[in-house]
Chains A and B, each alone.
Chain A
Amino acid sequence: GQNIDQPTEMTATEGAIVQINCTYQTSGFNGLFWYQQHAGEAPTFLSYNVLDGLEEKGRFSSFLSRSKGYSYLLLKELQMKDSASYLCAVMDSNYQLIWGAGTKLIIKP
């Protein structure tokens, strides 16, 4: 079966750095995506990785290792507005997105 695993909840402090991990087992691989979803709002696209390595976009970076079936989202200089759920999704060989359950990130002052 296809499976995406990510922690259910994480807590971090304002100004700090947090790493949210995602491991996957899918039928084929055509890219990994991270989305941010604030409570009661629509998910919004954050990043896309299809090759191994680190993609940096401002305070957010996303890393991929295809051989390990592993990705992480790194958030630096955390702000209170970063409190949200972070969804990991993998596009399989049929170009369908397989979604993780999401990681709820709580930022404390």
Chain B
Amino acid sequence: DVKVTQSSRYLVKRTGEKVFLECVQDMDHENMFWYRQDPGLGLRLIYFSYDVKMKEKGDIPEGYSVSREKKERFSLILESASTNQTSMYLCASSPPQDTGELFFGEGSRLTVL
């Protein structure tokens, strides 16, 4: 069964803390994505990567960075967490063809106090 695994389902952090969200996929997919999901809004793309060591900014990259050292792993980093980054974070992967069929992880619900 194909799988995208996010390291933490729930996290509570304090303002100013550094936060790491890890995502691993076992489908050998080239493409990986980080989204945030907030009530009343569509999924918003933070960063994406089409290959190892490659990263591209999405629609809302401010306050975030990413790392893709290995094909299967895509990490989202909040250098200094703020309360407006309280959200559900979804990682997704897809094969190289631009089909738009994404495979999502279960999500990481981050609360910043």
Q: Are A42 and B107 also in contact (CB < 8 A) when A4-B42, A100-B42, A101-B41 are?
A: yes
Interface of B is mostly: loop
Nearest B residue to A99, CB-CB = B42
Nearest A residue to B99, CB-CB = A48
Q: Which of B4, B41, B42, B102 contacts A45 (CB 8 A)?
A: B102
Binding site for A on B (CB under 8 A): 4, 40-45, 90, 98-107
Number of residues from A at the complex interface, CB < 8 A: 24
Query: Given the complex of chains A and B, what is the CA–CA distance between A45 and B104 in angstroms?
Result: 9
Binding site for B on A (CB under 8 A): 4, 8, 30-31, 33, 35, 40-45, 48, 87, 89, 91, 95-102
CB distance from B31 to the nearest CB of A (A): 10
**B104 near A98: Cβ-Cβ < 8 Å:** no
Q: Which of A31, A40, A98 contacts B42 (CB 8 A)?
A: A98
**A41 near B42: Cβ-Cβ < 8 Å:** no
Q: Are A89 and B100 also in contact (CB < 8 A) when A42-B105, A42-B107, A43-B90 are?
A: yes
Nearest B residue to A97, CB-CB = B100
